Structure 1
Amino acid sequence: MPHDAPVTLTLDRGLQVLRAFRAHSASLCASELAQRTGLPRTAVARLAATLLHLGYLRHAAGGTRFELASGVAGIGQAWLDADPIARAATPVIQALADKLDMAVALAVPDQLDMLTVAYGAASGGSTGSTGSTACVESPRVGVGRLAPMERTAIGHAWLWGLPEYERRRYFLRLLEAAGAQASMIRKTIESSFEALREWGVCATQEIFEQAAYGSIALPLRAGQWRMPMALGVTTTESAPDLAALRARAFPDLSHAARELTVLLADIRVGPPGH
């Protein structure tokens, strides 16, 4: 109905404001929110005031910046408690993390990002560990983390698992969003696609807390609706040899993906918004 449209638009804009926050920028000012959302600053100010009143935002120290408040955490925890994928997949993922001494993530798309829905952190007890576990113990990674689809192995793997027409559609959207970096993004994704075609897995170097770490990932489908997902591992070793990382982790990663496909086969779940 026509009179419903403004309400829907307001809700959409409010969610855009909440989505603007990321772990590496926990607090944002009004102008930064306007830049990230593409909304007018006056609209951002009104939305922020409403979200403050409802308990989804709060003022950061100093009073001029905003950060997420406990209302968001309550929604997130409710989702975690109810999500059948996280409950079923976490034991398999944690076992893989402990075996490889790496961080392991299962992710689905959220617009042009990848959302981690199940996660396991290395315990640090493996005798095969060659690096610090600081990166995987960081609160900046874990369930609920959003990672850019165009720059991560787990995003590239998910794209590869799509039907060709849908993969092309996402690819074009990513290139359009990349702007001046579109050429670099194209080469990076095409390189991952070539690796997935040849090896069944792709590898990239990704940045966590100002340091580069290696990640490898592969696609899988889960649930009764064969929902495309991606499973990836991130090493605790800074700037590793990606070929060596692939050789070491791929057998166990592939085995875990097959196990998850069977384990999640009867779950009725679709992508966000379905």
Structure 2
Amino acid sequence: MSQDSPITLTLDRGLQVLRAFRADCTPLTDAELSQRTGLSRAAIQRLASTLLHLGYLRRAGGGTRFELASGVFGIGQAWLDADPIARAATPLIQALADKMGAAVALAVPDQLDMLTIAYGSAACVESPRRGVGTLAPMESTAIGHAWLWGLPEYERRRYLLRLLEAAGVQAQTLRKAIESAFDDLREWGVCTSQEAFEHGIYGAVALPLRAGQWRMPMALGVTTVVSPPGIEAMRARVVPALSQVARELTVLLADIRVGPPGH
């Protein structure tokens, strides 16, 4: 082991703790953080103490649960201010959100989650306000399934193996759900799902796209309250506008030099 390996490992574990928090903003105990990260409670307690001191975590209501603190948002805002995709895509995405009376997200992968990098939400409707920087599970969301579908086949298989391994005893159920989404994408060019968020049921429609000089895979999704006659009618209403914005984004972002991490 090299001299700097322990420092690198500690940093990686600290980032795992921060990534354990999700879009619902629910404060977490050390036991819940341990369950989400796979780290021991003793390790969580040491890491949380450091993250508290550095201003990346705080105690929710002065109790025993942890929540993200302003240090995280400062880093996120710095990234957002510098990101050319967010700056260019947000006006189009907000226009689509206003037109559909919905929430619209452009997302890329972050390990086995989907990270929202541009976002818009209509003020006139109740819809999930996840916002830029929030994570959604790749395995169970329309935007995650759409992104998977947009990958080259060999890379898609690699991600599917990782997702199925992480699913454990639910792997077979997950496989069927993803295959059903892929069937929709073959037939319609989009996939749909129903997702629970903040005590509401929402319908999501998403499609894959590629953007930038390196043709980076992304996914674009619309989420809105499901109302009668249901998600099929919502798909028929949303798909033409969603597809049009995806084409416009592909053109708009064509010259941006952006690629996967490390590029």
* TM-score normalized with structure 1 length: 0.92
Point out 4+ residue stretches in structure 1 off by more than 4 angstroms: none
Which range is displaced more, 97-106 or 219-228?
A: 97-106
Match of residue 134 from structure 1: 126
Letter in 2 for 1:38: G
Q: Structure 1 residues 134 and 45 mapped into 2: Cα distance closer, same or farther (>3 Å)? A: same
Q: Distance in 2 between matches of 1:53 and 1:273?
A: 30
Match of residue 7 from structure 2: 7
Q: Check whether the contact 1:103–1:236 (CA below 8 A) recurs between aligned residues.
A: no
What is the CA-CA distance between 1:169 and the residue it aligns to?
0.8
Match of residue 225 from structure 1: 214
Q: Distance in 2 between matches of 1:249 and 1:63?
A: 44
Match of residue 168 from structure 1: 157
Match of residue 136 from structure 2: 147
What is the CA-CA distance between 1:239 and the residue it aligns to?
7.0
Give the percent of matched residue pairs that are identical in Structure 1 and Structure 2. Answer: 75
Q: Check whether the contact 1:153–1:217 (CA below 8 A) recurs between aligned residues.
A: yes
Aligned length: 263
* 1:5-44 CA-partner distances (Å, limit 9, x unpaired): 1111010000001111123353111111111111111111
Q: Distance in 1 between matches of 2:76 and 2:93?
A: 20
Match of residue 129 from structure 1: none
Q: Distance in 2 between matches of 1:243 and 1:180?
A: 30
Q: Distance in 2 between matches of 1:69 and 1:232?
A: 28
Alignment of 1:203 onto 2:195: no
Q: Check whether the contact 1:225–1:268 (CA below 8 A) recurs between aligned residues.
A: yes
* TM-score normalized with structure 2 length: 0.96
Match of residue 92 from structure 1: 92
What is the CA-CA distance between 1:76 and the residue it aligns to?
0.8
Q: Check whether the contact 1:58–1:67 (CA below 8 A) recurs between aligned residues.
A: yes
* SS in structure 1 of the partner of residue 61 of structure 2: coil
Q: Distance in 2 between matches of 1:240 and 1:73?
A: 40
Q: Check whether the contact 2:201–2:225 (CA below 8 A) recurs between aligned residues.
A: no
Q: Check whether the contact 1:30–1:45 (CA below 8 A) recurs between aligned residues.
A: yes
What is the CA-CA distance between 1:54 and the residue it aligns to?
0.8
Q: Distance in 1 between matches of 2:261 and 2:74?
A: 18
Q: Distance in 2 between matches of 1:111 and 1:212?
A: 26
What is the CA-CA distance between 1:236 and the residue it aligns to?
2.9
Q: Distance in 2 between matches of 1:273 and 1:181?
A: 32
What is the CA-CA distance between 1:240 and the residue it aligns to?
5.7
Structure 1 unaligned spans of 5+: 125-132
Q: Distance in 1 between matches of 2:23 and 2:202?
A: 17
Alignment of 1:156 onto 2:148: no
Alignment of 1:32 onto 2:32: yes
* SS in structure 2 of the partner of residue 27 of structure 1: coil
* 1:106-142 CA-partner distances (Å, limit 9, x unpaired): 0000000001110110132xxxxxxxx2224x4xx11
